[in-house]
């Protein structure tokens, strides 16, 4: 699952831009939109979610398949004998199928992780072909995140889901055409360690065909491009004396360059992985980075902007990181799905610490039923989260770790957000997933993010995890507006967790909806003044509880949600508005977090 790269042995062509686009309103297999040029197509930008691009409400609300299409020319200089060609789709939300001319090539389920289509046998260098990608946005109990689709009496499909962000869909990240030599590097896995001042890189390089150990050459380059270590063989260890460590707020990246050479010493393939040398650990109630206790400050985020929806956008990415830096924050969580790989690379380069989350959100029927007093349907049951759901969830974990395992910025895997962890069946559901995650990556601690109803006396799974991540809304969803009661309830609960588990705890969500520009002398909810008082209250409590090792506010910016009576054009808990203007709280956080940062 290596991110495609342009190297001395590989070429990479961006397929981003305007694609032809159309809804599939009937049955996909009957319409076969890939089999001919789309008739009367719209034009849709890639990367972008398609929902907010067009004025037509039926596109915005469409449930089902859409088709993206464009002509591609395979470069004349590519060789079908010596190379293989792939189309890489970074994200097709939530299910994507790739077709070359009339031929189906591959299907992938899971809207936030990439996949490749091997098209070598279907195209020819110097010739054009029609590339179609059909994308389906339906969420069911066989997808992560889950949801349900019902057919209304008017024949239209209606999508329901149990998470609080709009179900944006389409090709939200880049699409690429690339080639690799027949004999190529398929994957690299890097784990780092530190002994005294020596940095250690343990590595495995997987190749498409077996090669002798002398044919795999490794070199590690520092930021001045000096070679600081060398090795050979597909598996091993390199040591770097007086290594520069990757530190929060002070990134340092080595390039781990793997090469395959032929018996005649000719270069066959080369691929570089940016590598930060650092250690992570949990000891008692502390979270250690490079053996030093770390306090997380920052955000639960979303990939969300006006018009683009979840479409990756370099300008917003850089600007968001500027704002993260401006607030003095050192971290964020990829709530509630894996983010674009460019975001992870940026965090690597700029020393921002990441809690990396799967798209397992909404595994909780008790939330909506509880909030609205409806019938509580069991979450862990054959009708909702069943064995098949768990298998899809396992696959989501596999794909997240396969994609992000080498990122220095990732210090903690979050395998789910707010599952119904106090409901019977939760333990049976989660135990195998925890085991899987630990097998896939023994080098990182793991967590899930706990929902406010599953307090320490009710939760059934927290002992399985290394770090307790809590989302709490005292003063908002409970004790609304009464910050005095909220303060004592919050402290009481945190001390309860501390006493029971003695594990490090992060407040991964806390926040209050706030309408930018609304002020109140009495600190009334929805005002900027209330948001400030709300956060000050939490921070007093965090500072009194020893096991607290971090705080990530909810949310970085206002974001779009599905239509709800308690949402006005989306969720307004942003520290910044959707167009990234600061609310009053931004300055308060900046003051607190800048001080915390200075202590690191
Ligand atoms: C939560 C969820 C988050 C919501 C938030 C809210 O607990 O994890 O996705 O957006 O509450 O604002 O209701």
Q: Where are the domains of the chain?
A: 11-181, 185-278, 281-599
Structure tokens at 157: 């499909």
Integer Cα distance of 343 and 317 in angstroms: 7
CA of residue 336 to ligand 1 center, whole Å:
10
Integer Cα distance of 245 and 200 in angstroms: 11
Per-residue model confidence as pLDDT tens digits over 91-129: 999 999 999 999 999 999 999 999 999 999 999 999 999
Q: Residue 376 CB: number of other CB atoms within 10 A?
A: 13
Residue nearest atom 7 in ligand 1 by C-alpha distance: 471
Proportion of the chain in helix, strand, coil states, percent, rounded to 5: 25, 35, 45
Phi then psi for 230, rounded to 5 degrees? Answer: -140, 155
Q: What is the mean pLDDT of residues 4-20?
A: 98
Integer Cα distance of 582 and 377 in angstroms: 40
Integer Cα distance of 121 and 100 in angstroms: 10
What pLDDT does residue 193 have? 98
Integer Cα distance of 539 and 203 in angstroms: 41
Residue to mutate, 554, 564, 567, ligand 1, most ligand atoms under 8 Å from C-beta: 554
Q: Around 190, how many Cα atoms within 13 Å sit in the side-chain half-sphere? A: 30
Query: What mean pLDDT value characterizes the chain?
Result: 96
Residue to mutate, 571, 574, 578, ligand 1, most ligand atoms under 8 Å from C-beta: 571
Measured between alpha carbons, how far is residue 477 from residues 437, 474, 484, 493, 525 in Å? 32, 6, 15, 16, 11
Pairing verdict, β 65-73 and 83-89: unpaired
Phi then psi for 590, rounded to 5 degrees? Answer: -60, -40
Q: Is 509 a catalytic residue?
A: yes
Structure tokens at 109: 């389920």
Measured between alpha carbons, how far is residue 493 from residues 168, 498, 545 in Å? 36, 9, 10
Give ∠ CA 236-239-245 in degrees, rounded to 5. 120
Q: Residue 351 CB: number of other CB atoms within 10 A?
A: 20
* 163 Cα nearest atom in ligand 1: 9
Integer Cα distance of 32 and 328 in angstroms: 52
Q: What is the mean pLDDT of residues 20-48?
A: 96
Residue nearest atom 6 in ligand 1 by C-alpha distance: 164
Structure tokens at 533: 């008082």
- Comparing CA positions, the residue from 317, 31, 27, 67 lying closest to residue 171 is 67
Beta carbons of 76 and 128 less than 8 angstroms apart: no
Per-residue model confidence as pLDDT tens digits over 265-316: 999 999 999 999 999 999 999 999 999 999 999 999 999 999 999 999 999 9
Integer Cα distance of 161 and 190 in angstroms: 37
Q: Around 428, how many Cα atoms within 13 Å sit in the side-chain half-sphere? A: 10
Structure tokens at 422: 């106090």
Per-residue model confidence as pLDDT tens digits over 181-239: 999 999 999 999 999 999 999 999 999 999 999 999 999 999 999 999 999 999 999 99
CA of residue 164 to ligand 1 center, whole Å:
6
Structure confidence at residue 1 as a pLDDT band (50, 70, 90): confident
CA of residue 582 to ligand 1 center, whole Å:
20
DSSP type of residue 580: -
What pLDDT does residue 151 have? 95
Please check whether the domain covering 281-599 is classified as CATH 3.20.20.80. yes
CA of residue 299 to ligand 1 center, whole Å:
13
Structure confidence at residue 345 as a pLDDT band (50, 70, 90): very high
Structure confidence at residue 366 as a pLDDT band (50, 70, 90): confident
Beta bridge partners of 204: 189, 235
Residues with CB under 6 A from ligand 1: 164, 336, 417-418, 471, 509, 554, 571, 573
What pLDDT does residue 149 have? 96
DSSP type of residue 351: T
Residue nearest atom 5 in ligand 1 by C-alpha distance: 164
CA of residue 294 to ligand 1 center, whole Å:
25
Whether this model's ipTM surpasses 0.95 comes out as yes
Structure confidence at residue 373 as a pLDDT band (50, 70, 90): low
For residue 174, count CB atoms less than 10 angstroms from its CB and return exposed for 0-12, middle for 13-18, buried for 19 or more. buried
Please check the confidence at residue 340 and state whether its pLDDT lies above 70: yes
* 471 Cα nearest atom in ligand 1: 7
Measured between alpha carbons, how far is residue 437 from residues 174, 203, 235 in Å? 28, 19, 22
Helix (H, G, I), strand (E, B) or coil at 559: strand
Residue nearest atom 9 in ligand 1 by C-alpha distance: 164
For residue 518, count CB atoms less than 10 angstroms from its CB and return exposed for 0-12, middle for 13-18, buried for 19 or more. middle
Q: Around 546, how many Cα atoms within 13 Å sit in the side-chain half-sphere? A: 7
Residue to mutate, 361, 417, 447, 471, ligand 1, most ligand atoms under 8 Å from C-beta: 471
What pLDDT does residue 348 have? 98
Structure confidence at residue 66 as a pLDDT band (50, 70, 90): very high
Among the residues of 383-425, which ranges form H helices? 387-404
What pLDDT does residue 392 have? 98
* 511 Cα nearest atom in ligand 1: 12
Residue to mutate, 145, 161, 164, 469, ligand 1, most ligand atoms under 8 Å from C-beta: 164
Per-residue model confidence as pLDDT tens digits over 478-515: 999 999 999 999 999 999 999 999 999 999 999 999 99
- Comparing CA positions, the residue from 504, 452, 461, 443 lying closest to residue 479 is 452
Q: What is the mean pLDDT of residues 152-173?
A: 95
Helix (H, G, I), strand (E, B) or coil at 83: strand
Helix (H) or strand (E) holding 583: none
CA of residue 89 to ligand 1 center, whole Å:
29
Q: State the fold for domain 11-181.
A: Jelly Rolls (2.60.120)
What pLDDT does residue 377 have? 81
Q: Is 345 a catalytic residue?
A: no
Per-residue model confidence as pLDDT tens digits over 501-556: 999 999 999 999 999 999 999 999 999 999 999 999 999 999 999 999 999 999 99
Could you tell me which CATH number the domain at 185-278 has? 2.60.40.10
Catalytic residue among 138, 217, 303, 418: 418
CA of residue 531 to ligand 1 center, whole Å:
16
For residue 463, count CB atoms less than 10 angstroms from its CB and return exposed for 0-12, middle for 13-18, buried for 19 or more. exposed
Structure confidence at residue 375 as a pLDDT band (50, 70, 90): low
Is the bond preceding 297 in cis, omega lying within 30 degrees of 0?
Answer: no
What pLDDT does residue 346 have? 98
pTM: 0.98
Structure tokens at 105: 């090539």
**Beta carbons within 8 Å of 381's beta carbon, 6+ residues apart:** 425
Helix (H, G, I), strand (E, B) or coil at 413: strand
* 559 Cα nearest atom in ligand 1: 10
Torsion of CA 372, 376, 381, 384, to 10 degrees: -20
């Amino acid at each position: 699952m290596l991110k495609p790269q342009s190297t001395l042995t590989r070429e990479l062509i961006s397929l981003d831009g305007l694609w032809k686009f159309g809804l599939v309103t009937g049955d996909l297999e009957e319409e076969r939109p890939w089999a001919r040029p789309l008739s009367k197509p719209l034009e849709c930008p890639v990367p972008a979610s398609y929902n907010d691009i067009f004025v037509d409400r039926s596109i915005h609300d469409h449930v089902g398949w859409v088709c993206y299409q464009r002509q591609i020319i395979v470069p004349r200089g590519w060789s079908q004998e010596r190379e293989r060609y792939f189309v890489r789709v970074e994200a097709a939300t939530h299910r994507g199928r790739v077709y070359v001319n009339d031929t189906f090539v591959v299907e992938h389920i899971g809207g936030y992780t990439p996949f490749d289509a091997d098209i070598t046998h279907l195209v020819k260098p110097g010739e054009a072909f029609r590339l179609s990608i059909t994308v389906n946005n339906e969420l069911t109990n066989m997808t992560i995140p889950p949801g349900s689709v019902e057919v209304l009496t008017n024949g239209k499909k209606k999508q329901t889901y149990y998470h609080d962000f709009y179900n944006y869909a389409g090709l939200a990240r880049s699409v690429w055409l690339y080639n690799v030599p027949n004999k190529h590097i398929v994957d690299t896995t890097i784990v780092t360690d530190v002994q005294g001042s020596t940095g250690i890189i343990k590595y495995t390089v997987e190749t498409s065909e077996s090669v002798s150990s002398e044919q795999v050459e490794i070199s590690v380059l520092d930021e001045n491009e000096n070679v600081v270590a060398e090795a050979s063989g597909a598996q091993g260890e390199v040591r770097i004396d007086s290594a520069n460590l990757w530190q929060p707020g002070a990134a340092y990246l080595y390039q781990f360059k793997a090469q395959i050479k032929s018996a005649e010493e000719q270069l066959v393939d080369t691929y570089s992985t940016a590598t930060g040398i650092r250690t992570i650990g949990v000891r008692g109630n502390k979270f250690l980075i490079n053996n030093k206790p770390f306090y997380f400050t920052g955000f639960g985020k979303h990939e969300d902007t006006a018009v683009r929806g979840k479409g990756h956008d370099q300008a917003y990415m850089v600007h968001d990181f500027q704002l993260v830096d401006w607030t003095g924050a050192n971290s964020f969580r990829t709530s509630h799905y894996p983010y674009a790989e460019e975001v992870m690379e940026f965090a690597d380069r700029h020393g921002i610490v990441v809690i990396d989350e799967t798209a397992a959100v909404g595994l909780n029927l008790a939330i909506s039923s509880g909030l609205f007093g409806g019938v509580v349907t069991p979450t862990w049951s054959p009708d909702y989260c069943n064995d098949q759901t768990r298998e899809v969830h396992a696959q989501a974990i596999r794909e997240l770790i396969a994609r992000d395992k080498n990122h220095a910025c990732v210090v903690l895997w979050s395998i789910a957000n707010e599952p119904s962890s106090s409901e019977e069946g939760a333990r049976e559901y989660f135990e195998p997933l925890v085991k899987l995650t630990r097998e896939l990556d023994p080098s990182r601690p793991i967590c899930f993010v706990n929902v406010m109803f599953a307090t320490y006396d009710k939760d059934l799974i927290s002992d399985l995890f290394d770090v307790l991540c809590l989302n709490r809304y005292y003063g908002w969803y409970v004790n609304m507006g009464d910050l005095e009661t909220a303060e004592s309830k919050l402290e009481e609960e945190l001390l309860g967790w501390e006493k029971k588990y003695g594990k490090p705890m992060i407040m991964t969500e806390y926040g209050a909806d706030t309408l930018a520009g609304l002020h109140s002398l009495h600190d009334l909810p929805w005002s900027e003044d209330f948001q400030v008082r709300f956060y000050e209250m939490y921070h007093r409590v965090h500072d009194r509880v020893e096991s607290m090792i971090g705080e990530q506010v909810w949310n970085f910016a206002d974001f779009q949600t599905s239509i709800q009576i308690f949402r006005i054009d989306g969720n307004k808990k942003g520290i910044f508005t959707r167009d990234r203007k600061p609310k009053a709280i931004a300055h308060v956080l900046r003051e607190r977090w800048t001080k915390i940062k200075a202590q690191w």
